[in-house]
Amino acid sequence: MKAISTWDLTKRYGNKTVVNNLNLEIEKGSIFGFLGKNGAGKSTFINMITGLTRPTSGSFEILGEEGNSLKKVRHRIGVLPDYSTFYETYTALDHLKYYSKILRLSLTTQELKDILKKVELEDAINLKTKNFSFGMKKKLGLAQALINKPDLLFLDEPTSGVDANSILNIHSLIREVSAQGTTIFLTSHNLDEVEKLCDDIAIMNKGIIQIKGNMQQLRKQYQDNISVYIKHESISETKQSKLRNDMGLFVKNVNIAADHSEFHIEDESAIPKINNYLVSENISVYRLEVEEPSLEEIFLNLGEKKHSA
């Protein structure tokens, strides 16, 4: 079952197309990263699939329900906005009690305290939110988003303004919630965070999905070649020449030096062949490194000509 599916989803404002015939499928239980520069159409897309604005054309399903039946599934959705506003005279616990009543949930005080403990607010349970830091408000917003044990969780910048230790805890919590079957739709400017957490990633640009897949697939679409660096024992010029000739048969570009070598290969299946060949020639390999583009590099340079790593 897909958590979210869209078919030719389009939104126009006058003559401007903000989301253009977008087709997207998000697997149930996955952590999905949704990226794009400002003005790419991300917010408009999210607003459409959550019912805040109507598509100009196209259709979508969310948690098995068609877009015109969102009322049936809203109680199964959790949302953490980039910035949450709270009642200043309410404590953290007061807020969760209030939200549980709105959602008609039957949660005990201890269960609400357990949720606050999960987001590291156990020491602020009875503290009024006017005394909360930005990071503490972010954690309370996350607790609010989790209170109904959602099947689909939207997280917008879940760790912005949060200290390093809390970031690790939030990452652990995201993985835990996902492992329990919740689909997580994550937007973040922290590209390292997205790369570490997400099963699949889509990058939106000018209203379309420009690239989508897991990190291995993104790297393959982005670059033509994989660069491999090998540190090995010192070898003679005669041996270097032999390596150039022999390895040129199955490696695209070869650069052999006395104590290290560099190769450009089209597929990672060539890596064990390179290593096995060096071993067969009785050349000791000290270190083998594969240079791969990070999500940040792919994101910043997407649209430019593909290149070797």
Write down the CATH number for the domain with range 2-214: 3.40.50.300
Domain coordinates in residue numbering, the chain: 2-214, 219-308
pLDDT at res. 309? 45
- Are the C-beta atoms of residues 263 and 167 closer than 8 Å to each other? no
User: How far apart are alpha carbons 153 and 19 in whole angstroms?
Assistant: 22
**pLDDT at residue 303, as a whole number:** 63
**What's residue 305's pLDDT?**
46
pLDDT of residue 226: 84
pLDDT at 304 over 70: no
Give per-residue pLDDT as tens, 102-114: 999 999 999 999 9
Percent share of the chain, pLDDT over 70: 98
| pLDDT at residue number 116 | 96
Locus of tokens 């917008």: 156
Q: Rounded to whole angstroms, how far apart are CA atoms 14 and 129?
A: 42
**Res 223 pLDDT > 80:** no
Greater confidence (144 vs 266) lies with 144
184-193, 220-229, 237-246: least confidently modelled range: 220-229
Which pLDDT score, from 0 to 100, does residue 221 have?
82
SS3 state of residue 150: coil
The answer to whether the beta carbons of residues 244 and 56 sit under 8 Å apart is no
Q: Which has more pLDDT, 305 or 27?
A: 27
Q: Is the pLDDT score of 159 beyond 60?
A: yes
**Which segment of 24-38, 44-58, 187-201, 241-255 scores lowest on mean pLDDT?**
241-255
pLDDT attached to residue 152: 97
Rounded Cα–Cα distance for residues 209 and 23 (Å): 8
Contact indicator for 36, 42 with CB cutoff of 8 Å? yes
Q: What is the mean pLDDT of the chain?
A: 91
At residue 252, does pLDDT exceed 80? Answer: no
Question: What architecture does CATH give domain 219-308?
Answer: 2-Layer Sandwich (3.30)
Cross-strand pairs, 207: none
User: Which residues does 183 contact at the CB level (< 8 Å), separation at least 6?
Assistant: 3, 4, 26, 27, 28, 29, 30, 32, 151, 152, 153
Q: How confident is the model at residue 69 (pLDDT cuts 50, 70, 90)?
A: confident
pLDDT of residue 308: 46
pLDDT band with cut points at 50, 70 and 90 for residue 270: confident
Higher pLDDT, 306 or 212: 212
Cβ–Cβ under 8 Å, residues 263 and 187: no
